[in-house]
Amino acid sequence: MQADVLVIGGGTGGVAAALGALRAGRSVLLTEEYDWLGGQLTSQAVPPDEHTWIEQFGATASYRSLRDGVRDYYRRHYPLTEAARARRDLNPGAGHVSRLCHEPRVSVAVIDAMLAPYRGSGRLTVLQPYRPVAAETDGDRVTAVTVEHRDTGERLTLTGAYVLDATETGELLPLTGTEYVTGFEAQSDTGEPSAPEEAQPLNLQAVSYCFALDHVDGDHTIDKPASYDFWRSYQPSFWGAPLLSFKAPHPRTLELVERGFTPNPGDDPLSVIADQRVSGGDMNLWTFRRIAARDMFTPGAYESDITLVNWPMIDYLEGPALEVPDAAGHLARAKELSFSMLYWLQTEAPRADGGTGFPGLRLRGDVTGSADGLAQAPYHRESRRIRAEYTVVEQDLSLDVRGGKGAVNYGDTVGIGMYRIDLHPSTGGDNYIDVPSSPFEIPLGALIPQRMENLLPASKNLGTTHITNGCYRLHPVEWNIGEAAGLLAAHCVEQGLSPRAVRNTPERLETFQRLLTSHGVELRWPDISGY
């Protein structure tokens, strides 16, 4: 099969990349390993992590259309209360992590609607569930990618002028021989204040299998997981408490803090204002990533709130889930950890009334669209990353380093993003690194490999470091990265240029940046301070 642009991986960045290339008039082959397009938003079941100003600015026009589409979908199809329906800033889950906590299926529906006209016209072909297994190259160019059907083993060979790697872990990089890095770089290489003296390529942020819960009458306790006793006694050296507990380090202070957990607390969902600038919102685990607040809907529509478990307690630290022979084994054990956390909640977790266990907690695999009840896909916070023409480093955007100057302004900016440098505990035994950052730009140089000519990163695999990945990995930033990559590929096909030539020729760069602006991609921040 052939198209102008191959987008391998249909996650948040992959969908945006496909939309960008399609809007610019190109044909696209989009592949995805899981049953849902959308990645973090859907198959990984991670409510959007967004910055404080997301309702006003700081996102591409198409990402804003996605967010508007989610709210419109609820207004059209869900039995909202009149007060909820009237809210311009409707937050269906009234979660504290995001101003738009919602059920994954809604994002699936909105993404499908955004892609529908291109599928109808025949310019977009979506191949699901397919994953990349091989690639062919000719010198510095990728000539073909082979994908395999997840269930049947059928293989297809795909060709295109440009190949975008939008997989969650940069799977095309080793397959194509593209130079890349993993894990923690050495301070001598990056100059980053928070980097170690020596490189630690297998020191990656924890991977997690998220899951959805509600709380209803009856006993919904799952079978005891085979590895429960191991996880019940597991305590990371830096944690200060058993992993299966309500106690965990505070990400910003590292002090041991006990979280609250009260299913269906009866709070006023319309009063919740999610603001990451003030707090991560995780002191109450039930409302932290709640994706359906029952009081947002007419009485009786929902038996219970639905909350999404993406908590520190399910961060898997025993080994990296890529670049090692037993990567699949680590993913399997990460699943066991999530099931063990659920079993602990149902049987042993302390309650406010002095009792133990919440047997009414019900695993909602129907909400996440999976057979085993967890999210369809693991949440990889960190990917392989290209060795790029330009690598974004901590001192480019750290608030502690930059102070009032703001982040570095890049002449080749292709978008913007904002989030704290937020690194979860890692497989190398590091605790949280969660420090302030300045609103930052996305340099085109970070999307261009040092050698390969027609392969572009379109997800978390661009030229960042282990540290700066911590703020470039979130939903609106990944979307912007993918959209810029898709528009760049389309522009290069139309103009007969290489990405390198676009970046390194001033008039061509200016032309491309005007193209981005015409598509609603913001290139600069207003004068605001980070957090």
Tell the residue number behind the tokens 């100059």, with chain if given: 191
3-state secondary structure of 292: strand
CA atoms within 13 A on the CB side of 171: 21
Residue-wise pLDDT for 56-71, tens only, equals 999 999 999 999 999 9
Domains of the chain: 2-47+102-185+381-519 (3.50.50.60), 207-264+304-379 (no CATH)
What is the rounded CA–CA span in Å between residue 279 and residue 355?
A: 30
Q: What is the pLDDT of residue 351?
A: 97
Residue 277 confidence (pLDDT) above 90: no
What is the rounded CA–CA span in Å between residue 287 and residue 64?
A: 24
Q: Which helix (H) or strand (E) holds 149?
A: strand 141-149
Average pLDDT, the chain: 97
What is the rounded CA–CA span in Å between residue 457 and residue 178?
A: 11
Local confidence band at 278 (pLDDT 50, 70, 90 cut-offs): confident
Residue 280 confidence (pLDDT) above 80: no
Residue-wise pLDDT for 150-169, tens only, equals 999 999 999 999 999 999 99
Q: Which helix (H) or strand (E) holds 77?
A: helix 61-77
Mean per-residue pLDDT for 394-416? 96
β-pair partners for 307: 213, 290
What is the rounded CA–CA span in Å between residue 30 and residue 289?
A: 30
Q: What is the pLDDT of residue 283?
A: 87
β-pair partners for 155: 148
Residue 282 confidence (pLDDT) above 90: no
DSSP string of 343-367?
A: HHHHHT-B-TTS-B--TTEEE-HHH
Omega within 30 of 0 (cis) for the link into 129: yes
3-state secondary structure of 163: strand
Q: What angle do CA 482, 486, 491 make, to 5 degrees?
A: 145
DSSP string of 376-436?
A: SS-B-S---EE-BSS-B-HHHHBHHHHGGG-SPPPTTEEEEE---EEE--BTTS---EEE-
Mean per-residue pLDDT for 116-123? 98
Measured in degrees and rounded to the nearest 5, phi and psi for residue 265 equal -70, -10
Local confidence band at 281 (pLDDT 50, 70, 90 cut-offs): confident
Residue-wise pLDDT for 326-358, tens only, equals 999 999 999 999 999 999 999 999 999 999 999
Local confidence band at 230 (pLDDT 50, 70, 90 cut-offs): very high
Residue-wise pLDDT for 163-217, tens only, equals 999 999 999 999 999 999 999 999 999 999 999 999 999 999 999 999 999 999 9
Mean per-residue pLDDT for 356-370? 98
Residue 417 confidence (pLDDT) above 90: yes
3-state secondary structure 169-213: CCCHHHHHCCCEECCECCHHHHCCCCCCCCCECCCCECEECCEEE
Nearest to 476 by CA among 61, 71, 164: 61
Residue 302 confidence (pLDDT) above 90: yes
Q: Please answer whether residues 145 and 164 qualify as being in contact, where contact means their C-beta atoms are separated by less than 8 angstroms.
A: no
β-pair partners for 131: 148
